[in-house]
Amino acid sequence: MTIQIGDTVPEVALKYIHDGVRVIDTPTLFSDKHVVLFAVPGAFTPTCSEHHLPGFIEQFDAFRKRGIDVVCLSVNDPFVMQAWGESLDVPDGLLMLSDGNADFVKAVGLDMDASAYGMGTRARRFALYAEDGVVRQLFVEAPGEFKVSSAENVLAHLD
């Protein structure tokens, strides 16, 4: 079942690189915070690298001015996420998280089978906004689209 507005973000461990591989669980990531987490099907893929992540980089300060943390998540390993972030000059504070086994995207019901493209299980393209671990806004793309989960659209819906 797909996560809904009003649901609590499920407890899952995710990874990132900061002086080695680090683990962060979702309660730590979301508790007592306002967080936008956006998920992409794959690091270094065209729409993700040319539009989705760059939009959040461009709007990062606008989110931070509202007291909102920004997190990028993909079903890639943490080393790939680090390299992708470095290649696009992700600002400090925009966390690049690895959901390498798709545990998070499966738990929120937003996984997809990309086996036809040689990519296995991946995240559907989406963004969610949570306050203290409770989903307040959810932006899930139709297959093959990039409209509702853009940084600009998410910001416009947070007023």
Rounded to an integer, the average pLDDT of 83-87 is: 97
Q: Is the pLDDT of residue 134 over 90?
A: yes
Look at residue 36 in the predicted model and tell me its pLDDT: 98
Q: What is the pLDDT of residues 88-122, one digit of tens each?
A: 999 999 999 999 999 999 999 999 988 888 788 98
The model's pLDDT over 9-20, given as tens digits with 9 standing for 90+, comes to 999 999 999 999
Cross-strand bridge partners of residue 34: 68, 131
Which residues have C-beta within 8 Å of that of residue 85, sequence separation ≥ 6? Answer: 72, 94, 96
Please tell me the predicted confidence (pLDDT) of residue 159.
65
> What's the rounded Cα separation, in Å, for the pair 131 and 68?
9
**pTM attached to this predicted model:** 0.95
Q: Of 114, 133, 131, whose CA–CA distance to 40 is shortest?
A: 114
Domain definitions of the chain by residue range: 13-156
Kindly state the average pLDDT of the residues 18-41: 97
Does 72 qualify as catalytic in the annotation? no
What's the fold here for domain 13-156? Glutaredoxin (3.40.30)
Q: Does pLDDT of 136 surpass 80?
A: yes
Number of separate helices (H) and strands (E) present in the chain: 7, 9
Per the residue annotation, which of 48, 96, 110, 140 is the catalytic one? Answer: 48
